[in-house]
Chains A and B, each alone.
Chain A
Amino acid sequence: MNNQKQPEVKKPAEVGGAQPPVKRIPSPSMQRGGGPAALMPGEKARNFKASMKQLLAYLGKYKLAILVVMLIASVSVVFSIFGPKILGQATTALYEGVSRMIAGDPRGIDFAEISRFLLRVLALYLGSALLDVIQGFMMTSISADITYRFRKEIAEKINRLPLSFFDHITHGEVLSRITNDVDTISQTLNQSLSQMITSLVSVIGILIMMFTINVQMTLIALTIVPLSLLIIRYVVKHSQRYFRKQQEYLGHVNGHIEEVYSGHIVIKAFNGEAESIAKMKALNETLYDSAWKSQLHSAFIMPTMRFIGNLGYVAVAILGGYLVIRKELSIGNIQAFIQYMRSFQQPLMNIANISNILQQTAAAAERVFEFLNEPEESPDPAEPLVPGEIKGAVEFRNVRFGYDPDRIIIKDFSVKVEPGQQIAIVGPTGAGKTTLVKLLMRFYELNSGQILIDGVDITRFRRADLRNIFGMVLQDTWLYNGTIRENIRYGSQNASDEDVVRAADTAYADHFIRTLPGGYNMLLNEDATNISAGQKQLLTIARAVLSDPAILILDEATSSVDTRTEVLIQKAMNKLMQGRTSFIIAHRLSTIRNADRILVLRDGDIVEQGKHEELLAQNGFYAELYNSQFVLQTNY
């Protein structure tokens, strides 16, 4: 594309105009934006210095290797910088030979001299290429290692953070750290870092070479540089405006599309097609208008850069020609100078972009380190008690808790549960029924008070030992992308295949599993959509059966499960509860009636507790709840 690009000078990335042809192979996960977005100032780190310092510290043992890579890269650049000059000498030798021929000098062209120059050039470039490959291999390895380590540490960190941390952060944010942010850092290490150094060396080296060729020409070339930077800045500033507009309108159009598509049925039911099409038309038209303008404006950069480059080319051709006539310059030096000038622009642009890249990197590093530095769960006790045979007595003693210390939702809760008892937890949706469960398994720490199992404060156990006591079946049936067998065995890694089948049988899951393609070896897909909700529920019960816990936590399903499976689930749960202390988040009347104790929650608070009849007799919130939810005396 670009005019008169000289291949002889180092690195395609640095040759020629605004858009290097082979700078970066785009890949879905590696792309750092193209088009005008690439020139936009990115986000900034809140604390640039601290983040960079941390990143540097993180590089650890690689620091020396990176230094070596930088050194190799610089040498490679220096090698290649001599190229055009020597190639120019070859041209000069040729020119002089021709001049001799014209003048009738019998010596003519000195081929030996020319080939000496050419061999020298080849050797230089070969050396430069070799160093480049070595440098690239090293840097790729280093950045891959660091990327790997970052990701590993983030993934492990997830498991050490208290659950409360995830109340304030979406899964998307965590994911974005592990992919996008780490990607940004990795890219900076892999490409930008060496690019920065080589650009810097290139600019200095080229400047030196240019000055040795001719001072006046160099000065001319140098006036062109700031000019082009100024123009680019101007163009970018302008195109940015259109680009933002385009993004905004694109957002509108996409929003409308999303809305209309997800409301497809409603739109049809209300005969809204024509109206939505009309709205789309209007939005689409504004988008078109800003889209082509934005594209055009960002497309200004390339030709403008090239024009400026060409102006420099002309200036050098004229001045150079003039100087050659006055015997102050050799022909080959014009050629060399043009090459230097051409290869001057790109590294300069790179340098201009350094602060942007560093900022982006710092911002990404900041987010990653912020995550890695989050306070973790309080450590397990130094001398933990090892739970022996658990009988299953549970006591909440003056428990006080709030997800937010300013908003206490359980104020002073005490209850004593005998081994083998069934406790039903009821309350309207969002009353915080799962909070108790979370406290019991020590997913959250109490603000004050104690929870005791068989008379021992749960904080005296190691978390892993504590959680081993419990079995859990939640309404949100979590299964992972593995086979059915692997998913059931999740409860107890050492269980034999027979144990797995027995557990499945106990949970009434064996039959349906055998009807599935692949049976126990069937692979559950992402989000396990290839089995029904009810079947998922049965699998989670089987999983709990296999782990054979002393205390059970059950969340009865309300989700759409067909009648037959529903009956199976209920039977399986009942079987599972036999002889174990059980906490049930209850939706069914039968469960509630049979419960040894009912805890009634409202707005996160336990407002009443007792047996079904006792509570009804109190005629309080439970009675109200019961009457509205379970008794159906309405007249249609």
Chain B
Amino acid sequence: MKRLLPYIKPYWPLILLALGLLYVMASTDLALPDYLSQIINIGIQQNGVDTPVPEVIRASSLENMALFQSEQDKAVIADAYHPVEPGSAEYASLSERFPALGQEPVYALKPLDASAAAALEQAMTKPLVILYGFQMMEQNPQQAAALLSPELAERLKSLPQGANLLTLLTQLPEAQAAEMKNAITRHLSTLEGTILRQMAVRAVGNEYSALGFNLQKNQTSYILRIGARMVLMALLAVATSIMVSYLASRTSAGVARDIRAAVFEKVAGFSSAEFNNFSTNTLITRTTNDVGQVQQVIFMVIRMAFTAPMIGIGGVIRAIDKSPNMWWLIALAVAILVMFIMLAFALALPKFKIMQNLVDRMNLVIRENLSGLMVVRAFNKQDFEEQRFDKANREVTGTLRFIGRVMTTMFPIINLIMTGLSVAIIWVGAREVAQSTLQVGNLIAFMQYSAQIMFSFMNLSMLFIFIPRAAISGDRIADVLETPILIRDPQEPQQLPKPVQGKVEFIDVDFRYPDAEVDVLHDISFTALPGQVTALIGSTGSGKSTVVNLIPRFFEVSKGSIRIDGVDIRSLKQRDLRAQIGFVPQKGLLFSGTIDSNMRLGDPNADEAVIREAIEIAQAADFVYGKPEQLNAEVSQGGTNFSGGQKQRLSIARALVKKPPIYIFDDSFSALDFKTDAALRKELKKKVGASTVLIVTQRVATAKNSDQILVLENGRLVGQGTHQELMKTCQTYQEIASSQLSQEELA
């Protein structure tokens, strides 16, 4: 994949933007449990009161609190509150929420900055808790006493029912009162953190109630307020998520488009040497499927791989924030989970890989059975084939079973790990709560973060199945893109002298495939003259086809040179060179479109008459003009709606439309029956007589009447001359001829 980075580069801004949005998405996602914990902690547990610093407080309460405050704290409180004057604007607005405001003098909170607010909270928490204890005294003296201090509880037993403790305290002798205060303060200092704060908040709630404040309504509206924020967050999440998808789609589809175009252009520029190094099928796969794989994985990486760490990190930060003592639980669970998933993959992944081979093997056996139906039955080998298949089938089934078992075990265990984590969180969390370092709402939120974190890691590890596959695809693509192109146009191209005659000369030409050890052609020298037919004959692998493929520079000579009208073809632009050649390949190849569009490949502006003539020479008139659509008859992809012979004739006609000075027929007549072959050559001789014609063939009959026959064997020119000459001088030619023709015909 690294090798494809240049193609991803132009999309960096989009990717970065997506990352930013993902951060927002992760935050909003993680915000929801946070809000839930607020609903539980504040909305439910604290009646919607979220601070231990009351907005308004009765003068009498302030006085009572003062009993338990240091001078310093008293000053802080005195600074923060001011009396509310009846009749003032402030009074009016407050009395709406606190209808009992007029019953006694009250103080209201001044606007404060953050540090002053923190100092105030510090100063007020404990006195408020004590106040809370005294307030409770009236309903539940026992519990209140327990709250304030156990010593007090002992003493209170002796007191008459309904006595006001505060009044009592002021009435007590100095020393005794001080002792009692100390006892309370000592006890409170054993309580700490969240519990103390929550108690103070309760006191504030009670204070508010005393002032006629509707606590229940406040609670409901608090929950609704948080709920509204949650909806907002959810909306934000969905919006960012869709935006990320948008960016990811554009990026992945864009990268795919660019790579596809680059590979296509690269391959179009390949010479046959580079092309054959791959093979048509893998090149097609590399340009289509492999690019698709890369596209898919880019999308997934942006959507999933990036999200996972964001949620993971964000979740960890929030989890630590909620409870600094429990993050290790999550870390442990993630470690176990990841280890387990890796283990499962380690077990199953090699089997997955084998699986493909086994399935291929099974298919192969069936395919062989199908393609050899007659042979199998002729030899009565049905049982043997069935046994072969059974073996392959057993292997596939066995592997399937193994993979199935690993997977089927994996899911319940992953579930168990997740459940175990929740249970552990509640177990450990309960102790944290007891030590009042954690609130219950936070515990629930913590559980949810832990789930989010686990899932993001799970997703991440799942991605590891896809990435290696895409990485292989990426490499296969990069292999194509990085292939050096061997045949290039010269810096200063020459022009052929006009008019082009078409004389083709081979001068001591050697040819060797790139990376091969031996030459395919040795010392080939000949001249093909305009107005003559030069036939190349030889058995398979003799190199005859290679010779003519050198002329349009599909391959480059290794030694020697090829000249056209005396000009070395390497000093011409490939375009200019190929414009002089009408090339008909071994296989008749047509392109989707119409017959007309195929004919015009050679010359887009060709006359209808020229096309007609070409088709007639190629013996294709009967089936072309026999169709109702004639030239406009549709040609499907690869020309599959035409027979082999028809395709061959059309591809000959296509070359004829071009009217070039040089014709090359690379074994182009093999798909034609002898009769058509003969008729075609007869017409050809008549119509293109002035051109240079090179014909590669295996048929002596085709070569027999040529002006010049070149006989190739093992890459060497072993005979050159006319049929009659060669019959006398060339042994190879004689062998070929005698295997094909009868004695009379050879004469």
Contacts and interface: CB of A to CB of B under 8 A. Distances in A.
A4 B303 contact: no
B223 interface: yes
A627 B425 CA distance: 96
B411 interface: yes
22 contacts: A94-B430, A95-B440, A97-B433, A159-B385, A175-B363, A175-B367, A178-B362, A179-B362, A260-B264, A270-B654, A292-B249, A292-B250, A299-B242, A306-B238, A318-B39, A335-B444, A443-B374, A490-B384, A563-B732, A570-B739, A634-B679, A636-B681
A271 B579 contact: yes
Nearest to A325: B219
A635 B705 contact: yes
Interface in B336-366: 348, 352, 355-356, 359, 362-366
A109 B433 contact: yes
A277 B268 contact: yes
A636 B679 CA distance: 9
Contact of A109 (B434, B444, B704): B434
B257 A288 contact: yes
Contact of A152 (B246, B248, B393, B585): B393
Contact of A29 (B283, B284, B356): B356
B433 A159 contact: no
Given A114-B430, A262-B280, A285 B378 contact: no
B418 interface: yes
B701 A632 contact: yes
A590 B740 CA distance: 10
Contacts of A356: none
Interface stretch (A83-91, A378-386, A614-622): A83-91
B-side interface mostly: helix
A364 B36 CA distance: 48
Interface string B671-710: 0011100110110010000000000001001001110000
Interface in A71-101: 80, 83, 87, 90-91, 94-95, 97-99, 101
B169 to A, nearest CB: 19
Interface stretch (B88-96, B172-180, B533-541): B533-541
Contact of A3 (B223, B237, B275, B372): B237
B585 A91 contact: no
B143 A285 contact: no
Contacts of B575: 271
A156 B376 CA distance: 13
A632 B745 contact: yes
A478 B373 CA distance: 9
A304 B415 CA distance: 26
A359 interface: no
Nearest to B308: A1
B589 interface: yes
Interface in B521-580: 533, 539-542, 552, 554, 574-575, 578-579
Contact of A155 (B275, B386, B414, B533): B386
B195 interface: yes
B720 interface: no
Given A264-B272, A429-B673, 14 more contacts: A7-B417, A7-B451, A28-B359, A98-B439, A118-B426, A148-B397, A152-B386, A159-B369, A263-B589, A268-B554, A291-B295, A307-B235, A307-B237, A562-B541
Given A5-B452, A90-B426, A125-B419, A97 B375 contact: no
B470 interface: no
B66 interface: no
Q: How large is the interface on B (under 10, 10 to 19, 20 to 34, 35 or more residues)?
A: 35 or more
A50 interface: no
Given A21-B455, A104-B146, A563-B735, A472 B374 contact: yes
A533 B540 CA distance: 10
A271 B376 contact: no
Interface in B435-460: 436, 439-440, 443-444, 447-448, 450-452, 454-456, 458-459
Given A22-B462, A94-B433, A104-B136, A589 B369 contact: no
Contacts of B284: 254, 257-258, 261-262
Contacts of B234: 307, 310-311, 313-314
A303 to B, nearest CB: 4
With a 10 A CB-CB cut-off, give which of B256, B268, B362 has the most chain A CB atoms: B268
Given A7-B415, A317-B230, A261 B459 contact: no
A570 B448 CA distance: 82
Instruction: Name the 3 nearest CB pairs between A and B, nearest first.
Output: A136-B408, A7-B418, A104-B147
Given A27-B355, A122-B419, A311-B231, A6 B241 contact: no
Given A104-B144, A266-B585, A303-B245, A91 B415 contact: no
A339 to B, nearest CB: 9
A105 B254 contact: no
Nearest to B215: A325
Contacts of B359: 28-29, 179
B134 interface: no
Contact of B245 (A299, A441, A443, A493): A299
A91 B257 contact: no
A361 interface: no
A321 interface: yes
A507 interface: no
A21 B54 CA distance: 48
A629 interface: yes
B420 A122 contact: yes
A28 B355 contact: yes
A140 B404 contact: yes
Contacts of A250: 288
A58 interface: no
A303 B237 contact: yes
A12 B245 CA distance: 24
A272 interface: yes
A364 B426 CA distance: 49
Interface stretch (B27-35, B156-164, B321-329, B500-508): B27-35
Contacts of A25: 348, 352, 403, 407, 465
A562 B195 CA distance: 97
A10 interface: yes
A416 B591 CA distance: 50
A104 B355 contact: no
B70 interface: no
B33 A632 contact: no
A295 to B, nearest CB: 4
B390 interface: yes
Contacts of A472: 374-375, 378
Contact of A306 (B143, B237, B249, B465): B237
Contact of A102 (B144, B202, B235, B348): B202
Nearest to B576: A271
B117 interface: no
B368 A4 contact: no
A166 interface: yes
